Amino acid sequence: MGLENWRRFVRPRLRRMYGRVKSEGLYVSQHSCGDVGKAFEDLIEIGLDCYQTFQPEIYDIVKVKAEFGGRLAFWGGISTQQLLAKATPEETRAETIRIMRIMGKGGGYIAGPTHSVPGDVPPENIEAMFEVFMNQDRYLF
């Protein structure tokens, strides 16, 4: 579609939708698969508060957090395609900690898997991720 066509056809409709939500004093969260980073400025300008799902396979998380972190919250970041599916529990724990430290700095981050967790993900990796979520005082501070 490209950014030009997105701005022409999609952005005006999203602006109206987001505006309706904002008029009720609510927050706007938008799910999108794939790389929509080129549209972040536009999405923020029309009222997006939280972008979901944030995939580390697509985005440079340090760069995105630095550029947009004060203006846009991110939800996701724990890879279901690579980390949870292929790593060991120890690697899962370490990478979850790393991502949460980067994305959580200054707030604006909802930690979670990037998508629904597929059935072939080892339960031990899910447990390792949740261990970090539930014990942030031990792992992050």
Predicted confidence pLDDT, tens digits, the chain (141 residues):
899 999 999 999 999 999 999 999 999 999 998 899 999 999 999 999 999 989 999 999 999 999 999 999 999 999 999 999 999 999 999 999 999 999 999 999 999 999 999 999 999 999 999 999 999 999 998
Residue among 79, 73, 76, 75 nearest 95 (CA):
79
Query: Which is nearest to 68 in space by CA: 44, 95, 35, 84?
Result: 44
Q: What residue ranges define each of the domains in the chain, with the CATH number in brackets?
A: 2-139 (3.20.20.210)
* pLDDT score of 33: 87
For residue 46, what are the contacts with CB-CB under 8 A and spacing of at least 6? 11, 14, 15, 18, 19
